């Protein structure tokens, strides 16, 4: 059997008396979209923060491509290909869409975001950056400042940036949030293709998107995974229906 790209074992994180992550174990396998669902406050974002390196766990292990992530900060994890996108907008609002992606291409080529050299006019960056914008359907807005893009377009730009960083796994935290039905539909289609590039751990409240995309779903309630299974298994699990999905499922 293939090795997991991401392997989480018995992860724990408390905020005072609150157990936000209470012994979570889960795997992200090559090529899969593994959705993490659960009610508000279940601990989904806290889990993503621990994986990306912005919150240190109290105990437990996170292995990415076989390597223990303990002690590695966000930048080091991103460099290894474990990047969190969405809800941490790394956009420079005054820069054009193209320039934002060029910075990401440059970061991937070795420089960090903080110490970038001037990128304006650098063809070795502009070519790949424009290709990313084309992939997400934003090429026509290449010269528009990020601040002037619509909400949906900014999301597309964030995906282009995530792609430019060459991730080996995507951590997506509520990518559909704030999108209209049309935007969600086209993002769903895009994410469906994205799994060919790298597996996706997807936190999402939009159940249409989750049921359309997920190979597996894990349900988090009060910091614990109460079920993991296929879409059908999760939809038909009585405990999950009671704890989370209700009759809407």
- Write out the two tokens for 233: 């298994």
Task: From 43-51, 90-98, 105-113, 123-131, give the range in contact with ligand ATP by CB under 6 A.
Answer: 43-51
Stretch that binds ligand ATP, among 42-50, 66-74, 82-90, 153-161 (CB under 6 A): 42-50
Residue 40 found at the interface with ligand ATP (CB under 6 A): yes
Closest CB to ligand ATP among residues 51, 104:
51
* CA atoms of 219 and 205, how far apart (whole Å): 11
The residue within the footprint of ligand ATP, chosen from 6, 11, 42, 107 (CB under 6 A), is 42
Largest CA distance in the chain: 58
Q: How far apart, in whole angstroms, are the C-alpha atoms of residue 247 and residue 211?
A: 15
Q: Classify residue 120 by its DSSP letter.
A: T
Provide the pairing of β-strand 59-64 with 67-68: antiparallel
The Cα-based distances of 218 to 44, 88, 109 in angstroms read 10, 23, 35
Residues numbered 149 to 168 that lie near ligand ATP (CB under 6 A) are none
Q: What residues form DSSP beta bridges with 27?
A: 7
At closest approach, how far in Å is the CB of 227 from ligand ATP?
16
- How many CB atoms are located within 10 Å of the residue 81 CB? 17
Q: Kindly determine how many residues on this chain lie close enough to bind ligand ATP according to the rule CB under 6 A.
A: 11
Residue with tokens 């292995």: 63
Sign of the alpha-carbon torsion through 212, 232, 244, 195? negative
Q: Nearest approach, Cβ of 238 to ligand ATP (angstroms)?
A: 22
Cα torsion 163, 193, 66, 19: sign:
positive
Residue 175 interacts with ligand ATP (CB under 6 A): yes or no: no
**Contacting ligand ATP (CB under 6 A), which of 26, 27, 34, 44?**
44
The stretch near ligand ATP (CB under 6 A) out of 35-43, 84-92, 131-139, 181-189 is 35-43
113 binds ligand ATP per the rule CB under 6 A:
no
Could you tell me which stretch among 40-48, 107-115, 127-135, 241-249 binds ligand ATP (CB under 6 A)? 40-48
Among 4, 38, 83, 128, binds ligand ATP (CB under 6 A): 38
Near ligand ATP by CB under 6 A: residue from 8, 37, 46, 103: 46
Nearer of residues 47 and 125 to ligand ATP, judged by Cβ: 47
- Alpha-carbon distances, residue 178 vs 39, 45, 206, 220 (angstroms): 18, 17, 11, 22
Residues that bind ligand ATP (CB under 6 A): 15, 18, 20, 38, 40-46
């Amino acid at each position: 059997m293939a090795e997991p790209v991401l392997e989480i074992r018995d992860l724990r994180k408390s905020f005072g008396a609150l157990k936000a992550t209470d012994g979570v174990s889960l795997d992200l396998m090559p090529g899969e979209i593994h959705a993490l669902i659960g009610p508000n406050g279940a601990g989904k974002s806290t889990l993503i923060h621990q994986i990306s390196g912005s919150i240190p766990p109290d105990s437990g292990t996170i292995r990415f491509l076989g390597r223990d992530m303990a002690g590695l900060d966000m930048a080091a994890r991103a460099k290894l290909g474990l990047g969190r996108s969405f809800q941490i907008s790394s956009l420079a609002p005054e820069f054009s869409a193209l320039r934002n992606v060029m910075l990401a291409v440059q970061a991937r080529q070795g420089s960090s975001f903080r110490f970038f050299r001037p990128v304006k006019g650098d063809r070795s960056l502009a070519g790949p950056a424009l290709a990313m914008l084309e992939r997400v359907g934003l090429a026509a807005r290449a010269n528009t400042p990020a601040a002037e893009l619509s909400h949906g377009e900014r999301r597309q730009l964030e995906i282009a940036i995530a792609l430019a960083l060459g991730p080996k796994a995507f951590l997506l935290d509520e990518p559909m949030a704030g999108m209209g039905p049309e935007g969600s539909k086209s993002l769903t289609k895009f994410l469906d293709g994205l799994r060919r590039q790298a597996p996706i751990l997807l936190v999402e409240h939009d159940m249409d998107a989750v049921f359309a995309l997920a190979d597996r779903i894990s349900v988090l309630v009060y910091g614990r995974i109460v079920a993991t299974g296929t879409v059908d298994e999760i939809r038909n699990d009585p405990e999950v229906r009671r704890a989370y999905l209700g009759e809407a499922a």
